[in-house]
Structure formats: structure tokens, C-alpha cells
């Protein structure tokens, strides 16, 4: 009986040891994750705002033609409310489209995209958690010759995406920086830790008003 108790104690002890080891490994994978992500998002917004301010100072009302950065507050924010770094996205325009209109909240959209989080221990260039098409290389995913855009409702994606989409024109290729509060927040999701800033390269290929038959993309 005493020998059996020793065996049980050893099993419990080893189990606890492995549990602690796994916990330690998980923590080391994302060191100072919340603080790093918050600092990154704040710095990105500050840089974007600086570029916008400089362009406005130099070009006045024509500043948008000469600046590739934008900052958009969440579409959820009431008009006139104070904006913070947690409810604003930063956008770097990679290519400008030629479309004249923008998707509405009730529309459907076709988007080519490549999503990643900040660098971590195992992923020094940032973990790629989702993308369109078969390749997981940014240059190939966003290559217009091989694009395989996905179909979404503007209203059925994360807050940061909806905010960006409602400002985009067909053909726009943006790099969008989304704070955790406008993505998966404190809960996270599969492959995305809590408090993660998300970085999406995304190109709007088409949008469809509510009730339109979207058909197949070729």
C-alpha cells in the first residue's frame, strides 16, 4: 500500500512538472506580449499621424495625394466621441485603386489578404495565421496574377476589418494595423494569442450591394 502511494505521488509530481514546463514554454513563446503589442500599435499610429500632419502642412487640402498613411477610427464610434489608440486602425497604402465607391456595412466583398501577428520566439518574422490562396508567401498571395480572393460580408468580420473595408476602393492594396481591441481582444483565438495586434495586407477586388448575386470568381 505504501509503495502504491509513492507511485501515485511520483505520477502527480511528474504531471505537475510537465504542466509547469508547458506553461513556461508558452510564456517564452510570447515574451512581454501585451506590452510589446500595445507599444507597437501606439508607435505605428503615432508614425502615421506624424506623416499625415506633415503632408497636410506641406500640401494642404491635397495632402491625401502625397501621403500613403491613414488613420481611421472604428466605425462603431459615435460621431464626436473621443478616439484612442485602442479604437483606431493605421493604414499604409501600398497601391491605390481606381474604384470610385466604397463598400457599405450591408455589402459583401471579395478580398485578397495575408494576416500575421508580431514576431515571437518561434516566428521571428511574425506568425502567418491566415491568408487567401495556396501559398503562404506574401509576394505570391498578393500577386494579381495568382490571387484567389475570399468572399465575406462587410459586417461579418472583425471590427478592424469592417472599419478598413468601408474606406477602401476597388483595387486598393493596404497594409492595415489593427489593435487587439478591434480584433480578438483579451480572449484571442486559434493561433492568435490574446492582446495581439494584427497586421493584414489586403486588396479589395470587388464589392456587392445587399441582394446582389455574387457568382463565382475567376
> Can you give the residue range of the structural domain that contains 1?
1-30
Spatial separation of the C-alpha atoms in residues 78 and 145, rounded to whole Å: 40
Q: What pLDDT score does 199 carry?
A: 98
**Tens of pLDDT, residue by residue, the chain (218 residues):** 434 333 333 333 334 433 443 444 445 899 999 999 999 999 999 999 999 999 999 999 999 999 999 999 999 998 888 889 999 999 999 999 998 899 999 999 999 999 999 999 999 999 999 999 999 999 999 999 999 999 999 999 999 999 999 999 999 999 999 999 999 999 999 889 999 999 999 999 999 999 888 877 76
**Domain annotation covers residue 44:** yes
Whether residue 200 sits in one domain with residue 188: yes
**Domain annotation covers residue 23:** yes
Strand-pairing partners, residue 210, are none
Counted domains in the chain: 2
Whether residue 77 sits in one domain with residue 24: no
Whether residue 5 sits in one domain with residue 93: no
Q: What pLDDT score does 3 carry?
A: 43
Whether residue 72 sits in one domain with residue 93: yes
Whether residue 63 sits in one domain with residue 5: no
Cβ neighbours for 212, distance < 8 A, ≥ 6 positions apart: 108
Spatial separation of the C-alpha atoms in residues 70 and 51, rounded to whole Å: 9
**Domain annotation covers residue 213:** no
Amino acid at each position: 500500500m505504501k509503495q502504491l502511494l509513492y507511485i501515485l505521488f511520483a505520477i502527480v509530481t511528474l504531471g505537475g512538472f510537465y504542466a509547469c514546463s508547458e506553461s513556461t514554454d508558452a510564456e517564452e513563446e510570447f515574451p512581454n506580449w501585451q506590452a510589446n503589442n500595445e507599444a507597437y500599435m501606439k508607435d505605428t499610429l503615432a508614425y502615421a499621424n506624424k506623416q499625415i500632419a506633415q503632408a497636410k502642412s506641406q500640401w494642404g487640402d491635397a495632402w491625401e495625394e502625397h501621403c500613403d498613411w491613414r488613420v481611421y477610427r472604428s466605425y462603431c464610434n459615435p460621431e464626436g466621441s473621443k478616439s484612442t489608440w485602442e479604437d483606431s486602425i493605421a493604414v499604409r497604402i501600398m497601391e491605390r485603386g481606381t474604384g470610385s465607391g466604397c463598400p457599405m456595412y450591408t455589402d459583401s466583398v471579395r478580398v485578397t489578404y495575408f494576416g500575421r501577428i508580431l514576431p515571437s520566439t518561434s516566428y521571428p518574422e511574425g506568425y502567418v495565421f491566415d491568408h487567401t490562396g495556396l501559398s503562404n508567401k506574401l509576394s505570391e498571395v498578393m500577386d494579381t496574377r495568382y490571387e484567389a480572393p475570399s468572399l465575406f460580408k462587410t459586417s461579418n468580420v472583425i471590427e478592424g476589418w469592417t472599419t478598413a473595408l468601408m474606406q477602401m476602393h476597388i483595387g486598393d492594396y493596404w497594409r492595415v494595423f489593427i489593435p487587439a481591441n478591434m480584433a480578438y481582444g483579451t480572449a484571442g483565438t486559434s493561433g492568435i494569442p490574446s492582446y495581439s495586434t494584427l497586421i493584414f495586407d489586403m486588396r479589395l477586388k470587388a464589392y456587392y450591394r445587399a441582394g446582389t448575386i455574387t457568382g463565382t470568381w475567376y
